[in-house]
């Protein structure tokens, strides 16, 4: 059986930077304090915990300790509060950090901020803290409700609308939101900023091309990871012979019959560690 792994498979540069940062800290101290999971992958989180790199309760963490801000970032208010008590090591993804700055600038320019994304997602919770008045839109139903009632949602004093996206959200939906709002709201300018992660998009495009040549596709990721679920959704839509798994054990439970399978595409999400992918690839090669 031939196994194909895209060049872009696995950790994105932002996650690699965060991983390097925590392991560099670990060389200097027996314990590294994380403000929430570094990434959305429980297997990886458990591995870090076994090495003394773990999420801590900031209420009980002694003052002066070093605290790592995870890749998704945190709210502006919380960052200021934590900086008064701890030494912060900010490992927020640089792309997410730039999006925060875009929103902060838009707020100073009296813009009403619209984010294409998931309200409860860790990244979005940080992003909205940089806005004044804002709305997060995740579904078609939420978009329809906003378009019907936008005159009561957007304060009259705003000079423009600023639309952007959670870095891992759907481009198709983001562009749909932009078109719908531009066509409906015409009395004030609508400014659009493309903030979707290009690295994630390139992985999706590369995987879609390679998928055309294989019998099966395996997407590796955590069920709670937005970028993992989006990658799977895109590839599943292109081919029914697409599986989602979090590790080898999970894969073996989903599918153990690979008869008449000659070529398989294995692609890991941006928050999937290499060791999980390597185990699955080794297993498939030995069939």
Strands of 59-165, DSSP E: 66-69, 87-90, 111-116, 134-137, 160-165
Q: What is the pLDDT of residue 104?
A: 97
CATH number, domain containing residue 106? 3.40.1010.20
Q: Are 82 and 18 within one domain?
A: yes
Answer whether 185's CB lies under 8 Å from 111's CB.
Answer: no
Q: Are 86 and 101 within one domain?
A: no
| 242-245: strand order across its sheet | 2-4, 263-268, 216-220, 242-245
Please give the structure tokens belonging to residue 118. Answer: 């998931």
Catalytic residue list: 123
Domain that holds residue 107: 95-192
pLDDT tens, position by position, 117-152: 999 899 999 999 999 999 999 999 999 999 999 999
Answer whether 246's CB lies under 8 Å from 44's CB.
Answer: no
Output phi, psi for 2, to 5 deg: -95, 130
**Number of separate domains in the chain:** 3
Q: Are 185 and 204 within one domain?
A: no
Q: Are 152 and 218 within one domain?
A: no
Output phi, psi for 39, to 5 deg: -140, 170
Q: Are 182 and 269 within one domain?
A: no
Answer whether 77's CB lies under 8 Å from 127's CB.
Answer: no
pLDDT tens, position by position, 43-76: 999 999 999 999 999 999 999 999 999 999 999 9
Q: Are 88 and 116 within one domain?
A: no
pLDDT tens, position by position, 183-235: 999 999 999 999 999 999 999 999 999 999 999 999 999 999 989 999 999 99
């Amino acid at each position: 059986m031939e196994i194909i792994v895209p060049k872009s498979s696995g950790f994105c540069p932002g996650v690699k930077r965060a991983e390097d940062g925590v392991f560099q800290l670990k060389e200097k101290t027996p314990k590294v304090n994380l403000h929430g999971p570094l990434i959305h992958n429980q297997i990886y989180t458990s591995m870090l915990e076994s090495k003394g790199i773990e999420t801590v309760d900031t209420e009980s963490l002694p003052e002066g300790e070093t605290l790592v801000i995870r890749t998704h970032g945190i709210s502006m208010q919380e960052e200021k509060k934590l900086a008064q008590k701890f030494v912060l090591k900010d490992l927020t993804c640089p792309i997410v950090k730039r999006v925060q700055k875009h929103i902060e600038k838009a707020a100073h320019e009296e813009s009403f901020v619209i984010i294409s994304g998931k309200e409860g997602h860790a990244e979005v919770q940080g992003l909205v803290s940089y806005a004044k008045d804002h709305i997060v839109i995740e579904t078609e139903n939420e978009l329809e409700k906003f378009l019907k009632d936008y005159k009561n949602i957007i304060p009259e004093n705003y000079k423009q609308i600023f639309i952007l996206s959670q870095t891992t959200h759907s481009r198709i939906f983001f562009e749909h939101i932009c078109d719908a709002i531009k066509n409906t709201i015409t009395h004030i300018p609508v400014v659009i900023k493309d903030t979707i992660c290009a690295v994630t998009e390139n992985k999706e495009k590369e995987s879609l091309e390679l998928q055309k040549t294989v019998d099966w596709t395996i997407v590796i990721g955590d069920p709670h990871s937005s970028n993992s679920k989006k990658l799977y959704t895109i590839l599943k839509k292109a081919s029914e012979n697409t599986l989602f798994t979090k590790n080898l054990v999970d894969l073996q439970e989903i599918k153990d019959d690979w008869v008449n399978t000659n070529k398989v595409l294995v692609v890991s999400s941006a928050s999937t560690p290499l060791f999980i992918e390597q185990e699955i690839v080794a297993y498939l090669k030995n069939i």
